[in-house]
Chains A and B, each alone.
Chain A
Amino acid sequence: MDVPFPTLLLNLGEKMPGIKLYIGIWLGLVVATIMEVVIRSLPGPASVFLTIILLIAGVKAIAISLYYQNLRYEGIRLATLPLAAIIGIVFLAVSAGLTITMGM
């Protein structure tokens, strides 16, 4: 518990990637958004849309939280907070979902 913590990690929060990376990410996000819309306009079963589009959305969210919210450089310990919340939500979603689909 009381291990001495490497001092070089202490100012990780301050470490930031270059400006180019941010703009690159932004371009990627915009492209992803347009892709979502394009995919929607393609013919095909709705369930496929749902999965693909939500996957893209998830990727976008992760990208934002990793780079814009700087989580990638904060280390996993801080990330556990949102992760815990997401796990809780997924749990609620699954249980609630079961009560719809298989409810008698």
Chain B
Amino acid sequence: MPQPIPNSTADWNNLFNLSAIIAVIAVVIVIGVMVFFAVKYREKKGQSKFIPQIGLSRSRAREAVIFASISIILLASLTVASYRLTPNARFPPPVSQSLVIDVTAYQWNFKFTYPNGAQTIGECYIPANKSIIFNVTSSDVMHNFGLMDFRVKIDAIPGRYNVIGVTTPSLDGNSQLNYTIRCYELCGSIHSYMMAPLTIMDPTVFNYWLANQTATNATLPGG
């Protein structure tokens, strides 16, 4: 059964497609016109070098303004759209309604600390249908907590806590959902291998698992 697409990803894809389409259109127009000119006005054999002047001495303020205003309108609309999405990641719902997980990145792995003090290294388990807040920091160099399946990233910076929030999708039929957390900032030799599986489980299963964690405060084998 296919894994559901998280909301944040869906929104992101919409915005991306929208702007990508606009971008592609822009490129096609500009380049198309350029190539068209380049071909149409190509210098032909035996053609006189004399070309009739069309009023090019005149300033082109009007055209410039028109082009500028078109692009301003496009950009402004996209901006509004993008700012409507942004807060989901940067300003997640209040802590009271969400599960807060402290993430400590270090060379070269992630350590996840759950509200009840349980810790996992190199793998993360979160419940479905819940807003999760990752409280990201680093214990040595600058890393990046990248969750591309949710289209969110935040830098893990020593001496600083950065918050990133995601809302996990519902399992709809899957026993669990598997995603990958990657480091997206060059952090040393093993950077390429610095990743951690993110497993989304059914909330009850998750609570049971978490309870077990506290009971035997065993940290799972690191990945």
A interface residues (Cβ-Cβ under 8 A, vs B): 103-104
Contact = CB atoms under 8 A, between A and B. Distances in A.
B163 interface: yes
Contacts of B163: 104
Contacts of A103: 160
A104 to B, nearest CB: 7
Interface of B is mostly: strand
Contacts, number: 3
Interface residues of B, number: 3
A103 B162 CA distance: 10
Nearest to A104: B163
Nearest to B162: A104
B89 to A, nearest CB: 13
B164 to A, nearest CB: 11
Nearest to B160: A103
Contacts of B160: 103
3 contacts: A103-B160, A104-B162, A104-B163
Leading 3 A-B pairs by shortest Cβ distance: A104-B163, A104-B162, A103-B160
A103 B163 CA distance: 11
A104 B163 CA distance: 8
Interface in B8-23: none
Nearest to A103: B160
Contacts of B162: 104
A101 B134 CA distance: 22
A103 B161 CA distance: 10
A7 to B, nearest CB: 33
A103 B160 CA distance: 10
B133 to A, nearest CB: 13
Contacts of A104: 162-163
A103 to B, nearest CB: 8
A104 B160 CA distance: 9
B222 to A, nearest CB: 30
A52 to B, nearest CB: 32
A104 B154 CA distance: 13
A32 B13 CA distance: 62
A9 to B, nearest CB: 32
A103 B157 CA distance: 13
A104 B133 CA distance: 14
A87 B162 CA distance: 31
Interface in B145-170: 160, 162-163
A100 to B, nearest CB: 11
